[in-house]
Amino acid sequence: MKRLLIITSIIVLSIIYYFYSIELEKKTFIQNINDQRIEKNEDMYKSESSPLFNSDYKIEYFPPNIDFKVIAKINRLTNNDTIKFVTSKGTSKAYLKFALLEFKLKEKIHKLPIYKSFKQSNKNEILLCFNDKTNGISTYEGGRYIDISFKNAQRIEIDFNKAYNPFCVYNAKYICPIPPKENFIDEEIIAGEKIYLN
């Protein structure tokens, strides 16, 4: 009887610790995202190279949500196709279709192409752009970006809470590529930056 009580106590304490750890992870995640947003906003308003330099506009975000942070498998492509993106100015810009990111979100498997620019100083920089079901409703209709750095890994973290609007959204003098149709995620990505209302 005493042994059963000890085993039961250990199980209960383990369950309590498990849920405590999850809650602590969520709180830490939310705090980190909010801190990053504060830092980013300061840079956006103070940097002369920013489209929001000295602007009164306040960037709006969805609340941080850890469910939109995923680990993606990187499937390298043996044949790298050249893809021409239409830009916000109606011109085109060529990218190298580099790999497919495969990840699970909301119990569904998604595959998202990533690209490399032919003119980039950092060979590890990858263009991750996407459209989703929130476009034109609560987010920019032309899609959003996420900054990632690739270093020959087989898996990589994608945090949609860091999704942001391209600079052309805030200032028409900037030129930005528009995600192609194959970069559509058939979900509502209610994470990251919201639509810009001038």
Cα 113 from Cα 74, distance rounded (Å): 10
Q: Which range among 15-19, 88-92, 129-133, 135-139 shows the weakest confidence by mean pLDDT?
A: 15-19
Instruction: List Cα–Cα distances, 134 to 73, 101, 140, 157, 189, in angstroms.
Output: 25, 21, 8, 22, 7
Domain contains 95? yes
Q: What is the pLDDT of residue 198?
A: 62
Q: What is the pLDDT of residue 19?
A: 47
Q: What is the pLDDT of residue 17?
A: 47
Domain contains 145? yes
Asked whether residue 57 carries a pLDDT value surpassing 90, the answer given is no
The sign of the CA dihedral 188, 135, 176, 95 is positive
Cα 151 from Cα 182, distance rounded (Å): 24
What mean pLDDT, rounded, does the chain reach? 86
Q: What is the pLDDT of residue 98?
A: 85
Which whole number is the average pLDDT over 176-186? 93
Cα 183 from Cα 181, distance rounded (Å): 5
Q: And the tokens for 120?
A: 């980039």
pLDDT-derived band at 13 (thresholds 50, 70, 90) equals low
Q: Residue 131's domain spans which residues? A: 55-185
Asked whether residue 91 carries a pLDDT value surpassing 60, the answer given is yes
Instruction: Write the DSSP symbol of residue 181.
Output: G
Q: What pTM did the predictor assign? A: 0.84
Domain contains 42? no
Which residues in 155-170 are b (16+ Cβ under 10 Å) and which e? ebebbbbbbbbbbbbb
Instruction: List Cα–Cα distances, 174 to 74, 109, 166, in angstroms.
Output: 30, 34, 9
| pLDDT per residue as tens digits for the range 128-170 | 999 999 999 999 999 999 988 777 678 999 999 999 999 999 8
Domain contains 170? yes
Domain count within the chain: 1
Domain contains 96? yes
The answer to whether residues 185 and 131 touch, using CB atoms and an 8 Å cutoff, is yes
Domain contains 19? no
Q: And the tokens for 182?
A: 């194959």
Domain contains 191? no
Domain contains 195? no
Q: And the tokens for 133?
A: 């079901």
